[in-house]
Amino acid sequence: MSVGASESATLGAMQVLGEVLDVQRSGNYFLMSVTAPGLAERARPGQFVTVGMGGEESSMVLRRSFAIQGVQVRGMYGGTLDFIVSPVGKGSQWLTKLRRHDPVNLVGPLGKPFTLPTKPVTCVLVGGGYGAAPLIMLAQALRERGCRVDSIIGASTEEKLYGSLDLKRVSTSLTLATEDGTAGIRGRVTDGLINTLDSSKVDVVYACGPMPMLASVAEECTTRKIFSQCSVEESMACGIGVCMTCVLPVIGEDGVTRMLRSCVEGPVFRGDRVRWADIGTIPEGTWGGEGPRS
Partner 1 sequence: MTPTIISTVKPSPESTFDLRTHLGSLELSSPVLTASGCAAAGRELDNYFDITAIGGIVTKSIMLAPRSGRATPRMAETPSGMLNSIGLQGPGVESFLETDLAWLQQRGARTIVSIAGRTADEFGKVAAKLRVAGGFDAIEVNISCPNVEDSGQVFACRADISAQIIQTVRRNSDNKIPIFAKLSPDVTDIVEIATSVSQAGATGVSVINTLLGMVIDTQTMRPALAGVTGGLSGPAIRPIAVRCIWQIRSALPNLPIIGMGGVRTGQDALEMVLAGASAISVGTSIFNDPGAPMRIQRELEQELRNRGFESLTQAISFAHREVIEAVIEDEMGESKDESEQDWDFISE
According to CB under 6 A, which residues from 98 to 137 bind ligand FAD?
130, 133
Give the residue, chosen from 46, 113, 267, 271, that forms a contact with ligand FAD under the rule CB under 6 A: 267
Interface segment toward ligand FAD; rule CB under 6 A; list 6-14, 62-70, 212-220, 285-293: 62-70
Segment 218-257, which members bind ligand FES (CB under 6 A)? 236-239, 241-246
**Which partner in ligand FES, partner 1, ligand FAD, none is near 37 (CB below 5 to 8 A by kind)?**
partner 1
Among residues 125, 166, 121, which one has the least CA distance to residue 148? 121
Cα separation of the two ends of the chain: 56
One of 3, 99, 225, 292 touching partner 1 (CB under 8 A): 3
Number of shown-chain residues binding ligand FAD (CB under 6 A): 22
Distance of alpha carbon 46 from alpha carbon 131, whole angstroms: 10
170 binds, among ligand FES, partner 1, ligand FAD, none (CB under 5 to 8 A by kind): none
Q: How far apart are CA 12 and CA 42, in angstroms?
A: 7
**In sequence order, which residues have a C-beta less than 8 Å from that of residue 262 and are 6 or more positions away?**
111, 232, 234, 236, 246, 247, 248, 269
Strand-pair category, 64-72 with 80-85: antiparallel
Q: How far is the CB of 260 from ligand FAD (least distance, A)?
A: 14
In angstroms, rounded to a whole number, what is the distance separating the alpha carbons of residues 67 and 107? 12
Is 109 in contact with 62 (CB distance < 8 Å)? no
Q: Which is nearer to partner 1, 199 or 235 (CB)?
A: 235
Applying CB under 6 A, does 205 fall inside the site for ligand FES?
no
What residues from 233 to 252 belong to the interface with partner 1 (CB under 8 A)?
234-235, 237-248
55 belongs to the binding site for ligand FAD (CB under 6 A) = no
Among 264, 266, 273, 274, binds partner 1 (CB under 8 A): 264
- The least CB distance from residue 264 to ligand FES, in Å, is 6
Q: Is 236 in the site for ligand FAD (CB under 6 A)?
A: yes
| Residue ranges in 19-58 that form contacts with partner 1 under rule CB under 8 A | 19, 35-38, 52
Site for ligand FES, residues 262 to 291, rule: CB under 6 A: 263
Closer residue to ligand FES, CB minimum distance, 160 or 273: 273
Binding site for ligand FES (CB under 6 A): 236-239, 241-246, 261, 263
Binding site for partner 1 (CB under 8 A): 1-8, 11-19, 35-38, 52, 59-63, 77-78, 101, 103, 105, 107, 234-235, 237-248, 258-259, 264, 279-282, 286-290
Binding site for ligand FAD (CB under 6 A): 48, 62, 64-67, 83-86, 88-92, 130, 133, 233-236, 267
